[in-house]
Amino acid sequence: GDSVTQMEGPVTLSEEAFLTINCTYTATGYPSLFWYVQYPGEGLQLLLKATKADDKGSNKGFEATYRKETTSFHLEKGSVQVSDSAVYFCALSEGGGSSNTGKLIFGQGTTLQVKP
Amino acid sequence: GAVVSQHPSWVICKSGTSVKIECRSLDFQATTMFWYRQFPKQSLMLMATSNEGSKATYEQGVEKDKFLINHASLTLSTLTVTSAHPEDSSFYICSASPVTNYGYTFGSGTRLTVV
């Protein structure tokens, strides 16, 4: 079945450092890919998404490119802030195109800690 | 747009009682909503797909008699944890999307503690 694998955390960075959180996936169809962020005690917020190969999703300085050839969707940010400290989830939508089931399959989450 | 409201945000109940959690789409209609469960420091596990006007579809291993789902309208789905036990304590989150591939909006979650 479809699956998502993220790099294990926690990732600890100093403020203004460059961030990369790796995400790879396996899927039988053509899924859409998502990054969600979860702050302590809260639900998930959509950070960015990409619906087809070579699409780049971006939001709040974060970006990720849908790489079909490497089945990856790595999250990057050029300069992190303390306020970016949270748990980040990579996810894919099961199925693709007309086969989309609407279900999201999540990676295990990566905790980011940014220190001043 | 695409706001999902979940209520309550936290609840404490005694073993053996039932708890109802509501998930509402505030500014769109959702024929399908999803219920997830999250254990501490772990990822989200899909429990079931809530279908408006029909029975929910449960994932393998999820007890449908314990986790009752009702989706009576296009804007409301409820999850009832029946005869709750301490092992049911968890963070429950719902999600919905106005259209496929839009990007699912999640509720703020419900922290259930069974004592």
Q: Which of A89, A100, A107 sits opposite B101 (nearest CB)?
A: A100
Chain A residues with at least one Cβ partner in B under 8 Å: 32, 34, 36, 41-46, 49, 51, 89, 93, 100-109, 111
Q: Would the CB atoms of B106 and A41 count as touching at under 8 Å? A: no
* Highest mean pLDDT out of A25-39, A69-83, B22-36, B45-59: A69-83
Cα Rg, chain A, nearest whole Å: 14
Q: Cα–Cα distance between A45 and A52 in angstroms, integer?
A: 21
Q: Looking at CA atoms only, how far is residue B11 from chain A in angstroms?
A: 13
A41-87 pLDDT, tens digit each: 788 899 999 988 999 999 999 999 999 999 999 999 999 999 999 99
Q: Would the CB atoms of A103 and B103 count as touching at under 8 Å? A: no
Q: Cα–Cα distance between A8 and A111 in angstroms, integer?
A: 8
pLDDT of residue B46: 92
Q: Which amino acid is at A106?
A: F
pLDDT of residue A88: 96
Q: Helix H segments across B2-113? A: none
Q: Give B42's contacts in chain A (Cβ within 8 Å).
A: 108-109
Q: Cα–Cα distance between A40 and B26 in angstroms, integer?
A: 24
Closest residue, chain A, to B34 (C-alpha)? A103
CA neighbor of B104 nearest in space, from A68, A84, A91, A60: A91
pLDDT of residue B111: 94
pLDDT of residue B101: 53
Percentage of residues in chain B with pLDDT exceeding 70? Answer: 95
- B50 to chain A, any CB pair closer than 8 A? The answer is no
Q: Cα–Cα distance between B32 and B15 in angstroms, integer?
A: 30
